[in-house]
Chains A and B, each alone.
Chain A
Amino acid sequence: MQKVIASLNIEVNDEGYLTDFSQWNKAIGEEIALYEGIVMTDEHWKVIEYLQDQHRKNVPLSIRKIGKSGVVAIKDFYRLFPKGPLKISSKIAGIPKPVSCV
Chain B
Amino acid sequence: MKRLLILGAGTAGTMMANHLRPKLDNQTWEITLVDEEKIHYYQPGFLFIPFDIYTPEMVKKPIERPVPKGVNLIQETIDRIDKDNDTVYLQNGDTLTYDILIIATGTKPVPEEIEGMKGDQWYKNIFDFYTYEGSIALRDKLRNWEGGKLVMHICEMPIKCPIAPLEFVFLADSYFIEKGMRDKVDITYVTPLSGAFTKPKATEALNYLLEEKGIKIVSDFNIEHVDSENNRIVDYAEESVEYDLLVTVPTNMGSPMIERSGFGDELNFVPTDKATLQSTVKENIFAVGDATNLPTSKAGSVAHFEGEILTENILRYINGEELKADFDGHANCFIETGHGKALLIDFNYTQEPVTGTFPFPGVGPLKLLKESRLNHVGKMAFRWVYWNMLLKGRPIPFVSAEMSEAGKELA
Contact check, A64 vs B236: say whether CB atoms are below 8 A apart. Answer: no
Complex contacts, B266 vs chain A, CB 8 Å: 62, 64-65, 68
Given contacts A63-B222, A64-B156, A68-B266, are A83 and B237 in contact (CB under 8 A)?
yes
CA of A82 to CA of B222 in the docked complex: distance in angstroms? 12
CA of A63 to CA of B251 in the docked complex: distance in angstroms? 13
B365 to chain A, nearest CB (A): 27
Please, which residue of chain B has its CB at the minimum distance from the CB of A60?
B295
Contact flags B312-336 to A (C-beta < 8 A → 1, else 0): 0000000000000000000100000
Given contacts A64-B156, A78-B236, are A100 and B295 in contact (CB under 8 A)?
no
Contact check, A101 vs B158: say whether CB atoms are below 8 A apart. Answer: yes
Contact check, B237 vs A101: say whether CB atoms are below 8 A apart. Answer: no
Q: Is the interface of B mostly helix, strand, loop or mixed?
A: loop
Contact flags A55-82 to B (C-beta < 8 A → 1, else 0): 0000010111100100000110110001
State which of B157, B237, B265 has its C-beta within 8 Å of the C-beta of A78: B237
B266 to chain A, nearest CB (A): 5
Contact check, A83 vs B295: say whether CB atoms are below 8 A apart. Answer: no
State which of A62, A68, A102 has its C-beta within 8 Å of the C-beta of B297: A102
CA of A82 to CA of B266 in the docked complex: distance in angstroms? 24
Contact check, B158 vs A102: say whether CB atoms are below 8 A apart. Answer: yes
State which of A75, A83, A85, A100 has its C-beta within 8 Å of the C-beta of B157: A100
A84 at interface by CB-CB < 8 Å: yes
CA of A74 to CA of B237 in the docked complex: distance in angstroms? 10
State which of A63, A75, A102 has its C-beta within 8 Å of the C-beta of B199: A102
State which of A63, A75, A83, A84 has its C-beta within 8 Å of the C-beta of B156: A63
Complex contacts, A68 vs chain B, CB 8 Å: 266
Contact check, B220 vs A64: say whether CB atoms are below 8 A apart. Answer: no
Contact check, A83 vs B220: say whether CB atoms are below 8 A apart. Answer: yes
A1 at interface by CB-CB < 8 Å: no
B interface residues, how many (CB within 8 angstroms) = 21
CA of A100 to CA of B195 in the docked complex: distance in angstroms? 11
- The listed residue with most A CB atoms (<10 A of its CB), out of B157, B224, B296, is B157
Complex contacts, B297 vs chain A, CB 8 Å: 102
CA of A85 to CA of B266 in the docked complex: distance in angstroms? 19
CA of A62 to CA of B193 in the docked complex: distance in angstroms? 12
Contact check, B162 vs A102: say whether CB atoms are below 8 A apart. Answer: yes
B198 at interface by CB-CB < 8 Å: yes
A89 to chain B, nearest CB (A): 13
CA of A83 to CA of B224 in the docked complex: distance in angstroms? 13
CA of A83 to CA of B193 in the docked complex: distance in angstroms? 13
Contact check, B193 vs A100: say whether CB atoms are below 8 A apart. Answer: yes
Number of A-B contacts (CB under 8 A): 43
B388 at interface by CB-CB < 8 Å: no
A4 at interface by CB-CB < 8 Å: no
Complex contacts, A63 vs chain B, CB 8 Å: 156, 222
Contact check, A64 vs B237: say whether CB atoms are below 8 A apart. Answer: no
Contact check, A99 vs B295: say whether CB atoms are below 8 A apart. Answer: yes
B252 to chain A, nearest CB (A): 10
Contact check, B220 vs A101: say whether CB atoms are below 8 A apart. Answer: no
Contact check, B236 vs A101: say whether CB atoms are below 8 A apart. Answer: no
A80 to chain B, nearest CB (A): 11
B95 at interface by CB-CB < 8 Å: no
Contact check, B296 vs A102: say whether CB atoms are below 8 A apart. Answer: yes
A86 to chain B, nearest CB (A): 9
- The listed residue with most A CB atoms (<10 A of its CB), out of B157, B194, B220, B236, is B236
Contact check, B236 vs A100: say whether CB atoms are below 8 A apart. Answer: no
Contact check, B236 vs A74: say whether CB atoms are below 8 A apart. Answer: yes
Complex contacts, A74 vs chain B, CB 8 Å: 224, 236
State which of B162, B199, B267 has its C-beta within 8 Å of the C-beta of A64: B267
B267-313 contacts to A, CB under 8 A, are: 267, 295-297
Given contacts A60-B295, A100-B193, A102-B198, are A84 and B220 in contact (CB under 8 A)?
yes
Contact check, A100 vs B198: say whether CB atoms are below 8 A apart. Answer: yes
Please, which residue of chain A has its CB at the minimum distance from the CB of B235?
A78
Contact check, B222 vs A101: say whether CB atoms are below 8 A apart. Answer: no
Contact check, A101 vs B295: say whether CB atoms are below 8 A apart. Answer: yes
CA of A64 to CA of B159 in the docked complex: distance in angstroms? 14
CA of A89 to CA of B236 in the docked complex: distance in angstroms? 16
Please, which residue of chain B has its CB at the minimum distance from the CB of A69?
B266
CA of A64 to CA of B157 in the docked complex: distance in angstroms? 10
Complex contacts, A65 vs chain B, CB 8 Å: 265-266
CA of A68 to CA of B253 in the docked complex: distance in angstroms? 15
State which of B194, B198, B224 has its C-beta within 8 Å of the C-beta of A101: B198
Known: A64-B266, A74-B224, A83-B237. 6 other contacts (CB 8 A): A62-B156, A74-B236, A77-B236, A100-B194, A101-B157, A102-B199
Closest 9 CB pairs of A and B: A101-B158, A101-B157, A78-B236, A102-B198, A102-B297, A65-B266, A68-B266, A100-B198, A100-B193
